[in-house]
Structure 1
Amino acid sequence: MPGARGDGGWLDAHATYYGGSDASGTNNGACGYGNQLSAGYGYITTALSTPLFEGGDICGACYEIRCAGTGCLPRNPSTVVTATNLCPPGSNGGWCDPPKQHFDLSQPAFSQIASIPYGHVLLQYRRVPCQRQGAIHYTINGHTFFNLVLIENVGGSGDVVGVEIKGSNTNWMPMARNWGQNWMIGGNLGGQSLSFRVTGSDGRKVTSLNVAPANWQFGRAYSGGQF
């Protein structure tokens, strides 16, 4: 993981915040999650600068963060945030320009580690496993010969590096990343129950068999399996 080594495995970065006190303005980000509340990620989320975002590969990963300097809350608490968005270069006074390591936190996340009036603080972070409630969500979009599946609410490593799909009449087939955590495959899979196999960046796999029934529909979400 990029960044300067801090104490005890912590890495050094900076943090700002965006959106409102209710996390309004943080939905529909570069990971494709749409409504982050219904996706299972809640209010405690972050956008990452380009070097940390890794082109969207890191979407869904979890980080423990703590303030490190002026503006920190008493006793320097830490919190765990989920990566759900990109902080694009040129925003927030250039904090997200490469090669800077920067977290643009939701306002609720920022308020858990630092005083809101400061707006910008030094930060330390480290990657941690994700704890999720419920199953992984599979939202199927596209059309007859194109299937685009959004993978959400992933535990374990949180980020997904591989997805396979299987129709009741097919073998397992690899899907390709389209953008964020949207994965695609061609072909007509209508009328078949669908199974998924998800691989996290830690190499662990979870298989969800027949999570979408044979009468599945585009635009619907289906749930099954968890790390």
Structure 2
Amino acid sequence: MGALQATVICFILLQTCSITAQDGEWKSATATYTKQRDDSIITEGACGYGDLHKTSYGKYSAGLSSMLFNRGSTCGGCFEVRCVDHILWCLQGSPSVILTATDFCPPNYGLPSDYGGWCNFPSRHFEMSEAAFSEIAERKADIVPVQYRRTKCKKVGGIRFTLNGSVYFYQVLITNVGLDGEVVAVKVKGSKTGWIPMGRNWGQNWQCNVNLAGQPLSFEVTTTSGRTVTSYNVAPANWRFGQTFGGKQF
């Protein structure tokens, strides 16, 4: 099946599909960096990951323009990025870095796309940490041409589930997802319930309006390629909001 056919089918079925997740072809984009403490992106972004060092993303994180962010469904996806076609700014040999999508780079239509409005639609743009940017280009560059391709995410340890909410509003933040990286469906199960589908609240925060207090919790996580992993009894019966638990990995 060709990419065009697959795109049409995805549109008709109104499903979340990620053709590029399986596509290793290099595509053209641009990249800049944002300067923060320790040369890393550490602040909470549009994917809801919070402190990116605590969630293991740290300096190898990136904010994506609208074309790449896809309304948050790309959160957690991994990209290989290299600087190309600029003899002054690109490092010799065009080394690459692997980045995880953790934030949205908003458009600025008051500025042209080639000067300040890097993330204006339909531009494909990566806003990187200074440390990651310096591994592919000179720090004194403002914007550089890059090539990118989707790649599998390599994560250490299992998928992490951070519990938040209140008695009748239950939310879980899902991080450290391997392979596809992007989560498209989540179910939760208590010891007194069946499997309950959760809805995306924002980024990779998923919710349901069920009282799960006092029950050990299991999770079923599905990624863009349709693969599912089930982690049984991840959280014990005495779990509390704010705690993080580790499950299985893809």
Query: Shift of residue 21 of structure 1?
Result: 6.4
Residue 94 of structure 1 pairs with residue 126 of structure 2: no
2:66 equivalent among 50, 56, 59: 50
- Residues 114-154 of structure 1: CA deviation (Å, up to 9, x unaligned): 01101210010000000000111101100000001000000
CA contact (8 A) 2:40 2:131 kept: no
More strand by share: 1
Deviation at 1:75, TM superposition (A): 1.1
| Pairwise CA distance, 1:2 | 9.1
Q: What pairs up with 1:101-140 in 2 under 5 angstroms?
A: 101-140=124-163
- Any conservation in 2 of the 1:157–1:201 contact (CA below 8 Å)? yes
> Shift of the alpha carbon at 1:19?
2.4
TM-score when scaled to structure 2?
Answer: 0.86
The count of corresponding residues between Structure 1 and Structure 2 is 223
CA distance in 1, matches of 2:42, 2:104: 10
After superposition, give the CA deviation of every residue in 1:207-226 in whole Å (9 maximum; x if it has no partner): 11000000110111111111
Determine if the alignment matches structure 1 residue 9 to structure 2 residue 25: yes
Superimposed CA distance per residue, residues 10-44 of structure 1 (whole angstroms, 9 cap, x where no aligned partner):
00000000123623454201100001111121311
Q: What's the CA shift for 1:51?
A: 1.3
Pair 1:174 & 2:197 matched: yes
SS in 2 for 1:94: coil
Within the candidate set 93, 99, 112, 1:75 is matched to 93
- Asked if the contact 2:199/2:207 (under 8 Å) is kept, the reply is yes
Counterpart position of 1:36: 52
CA contact (8 A) 1:21 1:108 kept: no
- Shift of the 187–39 alpha-carbon distance from structure 1 to 2, 3 Å rule, reads same
TM-superposition CA deviations, 1:45-81 (whole Å, max 9, x none): 1100011101111000000011012211011111111
* CA contact 1:13–1:125 (8 Å) conserved in 2: yes
**Alignment root-mean-square deviation, CA:** 1.7
**Separation of aligned partners in 2, 1:210 and 1:119:** 48
Q: Partners of 2:188 and 2:19 in 1: how far apart? A: 32
3-state SS of paired residue (2:222): strand
How far apart are residue 99 of structure 1 and its match?
0.6
DSSP 3-state at the match of 2:170: strand
Is the CA contact (8 Å cut-off) linking 1:19 and 1:26 kept in structure 2? no
| Equivalent residue, structure 1, for 2:167 | 144
Deviates more, 1:112-121 or 1:24-33: 24-33
Q: So what's the TM-score if we normalise by structure 1?
A: 0.94
The SS at the match of 2:116 is helix
3-state SS of 2:207 partner: strand
Structure 1 segments unaligned to the other structure (5+ residues)? none
**Residues 15 and 116 of structure 1: is their aligned pair in 2 closer, same or farther, counting only changes over 3 Å?**
same
Contact 1:21 1:107 in 2 (8 A): no
2:229: which partner in 1?
206
Within 2, Cα distance between the matches of 1:37 and 1:122? 27
